[in-house]
């Protein structure tokens, strides 16, 4: 079945780095834009970053620009988020999500993983 599974979350100190992974299965991964979104404890959803099908285009929220890097490996159906210079305000559940459109984007996320928790605390 169509599935996304995130991994790599954990507890880190401010200023440290972490790399999140998202394994996709059950669909043609290379046909879809992919995004990372996050949700701080008790708060709403926040879009973080997206990457196009062939990695030609990426975009980031200002809150993470210059600190986070999104990438993908279409051969291995995987999405990544390299996070550096982490701050307390980055503490959240991080979700990877599939854009519903094929070979494009309609900014609608129709498949989500269960999320991985990132806690930034000294």
Partner 1 sequence: QSALTQPASVSGSPGQSITISCTGTSSDIGGYKYVSWYQQHPGKAPKLMIYEVNNRPSGVSNRFSGSKSGNTASLTISGLQAEDEADYYCSSYTSSRSLDVEFGGGTKLTVL
Three-class SS of residue 113? coil
Nearer to partner 1, 13 or 43 (CB): 43
Distance CA 106, CA 33 (A): 9
Nearer to partner 1, 19 or 114 (CB): 114
Q: From start to end of 1-122, where are the E strands?
A: 3-7, 10-12, 18-25, 34-39, 45-51, 58-60, 68-73, 78-83, 92-99, 109-112, 116-120
| Closest approach of partner 1 to the CB of residue 97, in Å | 8
Work out whether 115 is an interface residue with partner 1 (CB under 8 A).
yes
Work out whether 71 is an interface residue with partner 1 (CB under 8 A).
no
Q: Which residue in the set 2, 5, 11, 108 belongs to the binding site for partner 1 (CB under 8 A)?
A: 108
* Half-sphere exposure of residue 49: CA atoms within 13 angstroms, side-chain side: 23
| Closest approach of partner 1 to the CB of residue 74, in Å | 21
Beta-carbon contacts of 90 under 8 Å, excluding residues fewer than 6 positions away, are 38, 64, 83, 118, 120
| Closest approach of partner 1 to the CB of residue 11, in Å | 20
| Closest approach of partner 1 to the CB of residue 16, in Å | 25
Contact residues toward partner 1 (CB under 8 A) are: 35, 44-47, 50, 59, 61-62, 95, 100, 106-110, 112-115
């Amino acid at each position: 079945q169509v599935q996304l599974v995130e991994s790599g979350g954990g507890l880190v100190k401010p200023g440290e780095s972490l790399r999140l992974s998202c394994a996709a299965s059950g669909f043609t991964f290379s046909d879809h834009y992919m995004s990372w979104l996050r949700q701080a404890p008790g708060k709403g959803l926040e879009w973080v970053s997206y990457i196009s099908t062939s990695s030609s285009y990426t975009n980031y929220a200002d809150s993470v620009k210059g600190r986070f890097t999104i990438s993908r490996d279409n051969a291995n159906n995987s999405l990544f988020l390299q996070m550096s210079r982490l701050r307390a305000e980055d503490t959240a559940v991080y979700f990877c999500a599939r854009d519903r459109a094929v070979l494009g984007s309609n900014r609608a996320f129709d498949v989500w993983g269960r999320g991985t928790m990132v806690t930034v605390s000294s």
